């Protein structure tokens, strides 16, 4: 997946300078992400069970994209906070959606291995994302990086919706 959380960590100094943010405001941006991420788990988890990972995650990724674009064009701390909240909500079920998809699409003997791969590659992505984002920030603004991330989120959503199977098990 696309880790806009890591992008937020690498652009902290630029945000602090551009918006005159102190540690409290930067903490608020981080908190907005995690609060909405956490609060979305239960209600969206119910939707995941009812409608399946393809539909739910594809829809939620559009919220993450909207939050990323809102953050990219933000002119105030309030817009940044709302954007970060939308990102948190939008990625809240990516892991559980993957687990649900594995349970639906794979034989039981392969689910544990697939879940391990999901965690492994997801963790590798988080650990390795700061380098390329930091490199990109040497050449373009943080806003451009977020527009690219938002575009990739929309593309991921479309791919998930139109290419992923929609099998439901009893």
3-state secondary structure the chain: CCCHHHHHHHCHHHHHHHHCCCHHHHHHHHHHHHHHHHHHHHHHHHHHHHHCHHHHHHHHHHHHHHHHHHHHCCCCHHHHHHHHHHHHHHCCCHHHHHHHHHHHHCCHHHHHHHHHHHHHHHHHHHHHHHHHHHHHHCCCCHHHHHHHHHHHHHHHHHHHHHHCCCCCCC
Read off the pTM: 0.86
Q: What is the pLDDT of residues 60-90, one digit of tens each?
A: 999 999 999 999 999 999 999 999 999 999 9
Q: In the structure, what pLDDT confidence band is assigned to residue 8 with cuts at 50, 70 and 90? A: low
How confident is the model over 1-30, as a mean pLDDT?
72
């Amino acid at each position: 997946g696309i880790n806009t959380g890591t992008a937020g960590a690498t652009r902290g100094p630029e945000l602090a300078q551009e918006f005159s943010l102190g540690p409290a405001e930067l903490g608020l941006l981080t908190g907005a992400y995690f609060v909405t991420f956490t609060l979305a788990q239960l209600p969206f988890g119910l939707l995941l069970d009812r409608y399946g990972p393809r539909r739910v995650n594809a829809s939620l990724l559009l919220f993450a994209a909207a939050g990323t674009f809102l953050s990219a064009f933000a002119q105030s701390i309030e817009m940044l906070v709302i954007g970060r909240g939308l990102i948190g909500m939008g990625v809240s079920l990516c892991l559980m959606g993957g687990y649900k998809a594995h349970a639906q699409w794979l034989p039981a003997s392969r689910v544990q291995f697939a879940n391990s791969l999901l965690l492994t590659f997801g963790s590798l992505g988080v650990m390795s994302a700061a380098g390329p984002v930091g490199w990109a920030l040497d050449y373009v603004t943080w806003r451009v990086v977020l527009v690219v991330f938002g575009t990739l989120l929309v593309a991921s959503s479309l791919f998930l919706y139109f290419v992923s199977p929609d099998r439901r098990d009893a």
